Amino acid sequence: MKYFTLVLTPDEGGIHPVDRMLAKDPSVEREALLYVNAFSDGTGTMVYSLRGDRHAVSTALTDHEALISHDVFHEDEAEGTFHVHVHLQPGEPAGSLMMLFQRYALMVDTPIVFTAHGGLQTTLIGSHDLLGQAIEEMPESVGVSIRQVGQYSSDSQYLRSQLTTRQLEVIEAAIEMGYYEVPRRTNHEEISTRLGCAASTVNEHLRKAEARVFSMLTP
């Protein structure tokens, strides 16, 4: 089994009308999709990890014509985060993407992390040939950037699952920008500029992520 880690960037800023609404809402930040699924009737379901005003989001979702139902749960007032389960009417390009993944028997690893520029960092798992065919048939409305290709390992995915979506975003940006290279090619300030947060926030997330990973690597 192989995996391809991609950044998918929809032309219209979201993979579904509800997703586009959330992307434009200044009261909320999309952190990740924790679960995605499509049903035979064309509808789908997703679980978001969001940061911001849950009351404003719930009100906006209630009136959205592309939404069948929603539920807000797992609120963390200290972090300002919450989860939202949404049952969605058929919408694009989400519908085409899910059909494509099903056609080529690909597994979608979660969480799917939203990037600072509105893309979705997604890991697809399957045979190398089928992964390649799926990428060639991506909808024209979705930009595709391949970040990493390799042999799938459940151990590495377990390590990722132990970090929060924000910790993953920060540590992945740090790796990409050369923070862990010798000598270092970047610093907390440059990473914070890229992610749109404070340097102290970058420092905190990196320390917590490093502590979590190292604790799992030692007996």
User: What is the tens place of the pLDDT at every residue in 118-158?
Assistant: 899 999 988 889 999 999 999 999 999 998 888 776 555 55
CATH number of 210's domain: 1.10.10
Contact in structure between 38 and 99 (CB atoms under 8 Å): yes
Co-location of 84 and 105 in the same domain? yes
Say how far apart CA 145 and CA 139 lie, in whole Å. Answer: 13
Domain stops at, among 121, 151, 181: 151
Task: Tell me, yes or no, whether 106 and 94 share the same domain.
Answer: yes
Beta-ladder partners of 48:
33, 84
Half-sphere exposure of 29 (CA within 13 A, CB side): 16
Distances (CA, A) of 140 to 9, 23, 143: 11, 20, 7
Domain that holds residue 143: 2-151
Q: Is the dihedral of CA 22, 124, 35, 172 positive or negative?
A: negative
Same domain for 59 and 95, yes or no, is yes
Q: What are the pLDDT digits (tens) for 70-120? A: 999 988 887 889 999 999 999 999 999 999 999 998 989 888 999 988 899
Q: Are residues 83 and 162 in the same domain?
A: no
Residue 26's pLDDT is what? Answer: 94
**Mean pLDDT throughout 159-181?**
80
